[in-house]
Amino acid sequence: MPLRLNVGLTKKIGQPNYGSLGATCHVEIELEQSLLEQDLDSFHERIRRVFAVCSQAVTGELMRQSHGNAPPALDGHVVKDRTRRATPAQVRAIRSIAEHQEIDVEAWARKEFGVEIDALSILEASQLIDDLKGAAG
């Protein structure tokens, strides 16, 4: 009998004047029952991969929704897609997680987003944090 795996992710980001943007992704796949009984590592890897797909889809949708609609950051800087820059707390979290995992996060950010960590948007930083946490899982 097949095993059904449901993975879901919902994210909301705040907007000016008490607004928000949100996106959701839910995926259901069938797996062989033996993965759960005999190969738990492969089972967990499948979950991580499906979750990463949902995470990328949700982040992409939030970026699409906010493209051009977000105001510049308080310091006046605007990143390439016109969304607000990553917060200092996000940048600190990224560096801290990456240091703990011994990951070259600057190279990762350049490869995935084409920018240095300090130039990430809020959404890109959120995606990177999720990716780093997923890599640790």
Question: Under a CB-based contact definition with an 8 Å cutoff, are residues 2 and 30 in contact?
Answer: yes
Q: What is the pLDDT of residue 136?
A: 65
Q: What is the pLDDT of residue 77?
A: 45
Q: What domain range includes position 95?
A: 70-137
The pTM score is 0.49
Considering the domain architecture, whether residues 62 and 81 belong to the same structural domain is answered as no
Considering the domain architecture, whether residues 77 and 27 belong to the same structural domain is answered as no
Question: Under a CB-based contact definition with an 8 Å cutoff, are residues 84 and 124 in contact?
Answer: no
Structural domains in the chain (count): 2
Considering the domain architecture, whether residues 58 and 101 belong to the same structural domain is answered as no
Q: What is the dihedral of CA 96, 98, 100, 101, to 10 degrees?
A: 160
Q: What is the pLDDT of residue 137?
A: 59
Which residues of the chain have a pLDDT value below 50? 68-82
d(CA 21, CA 71): 14
Q: End of a domain among 66, 90, 105?
A: 66
Q: How far is CA 103 from the centre of its chain?
A: 17
Considering the domain architecture, whether residues 59 and 111 belong to the same structural domain is answered as no
Q: What is the pLDDT of residue 71?
A: 41
Q: End of a domain among 66, 94, 115?
A: 66
Considering the domain architecture, whether residues 108 and 133 belong to the same structural domain is answered as yes
Considering the domain architecture, whether residues 46 and 81 belong to the same structural domain is answered as no
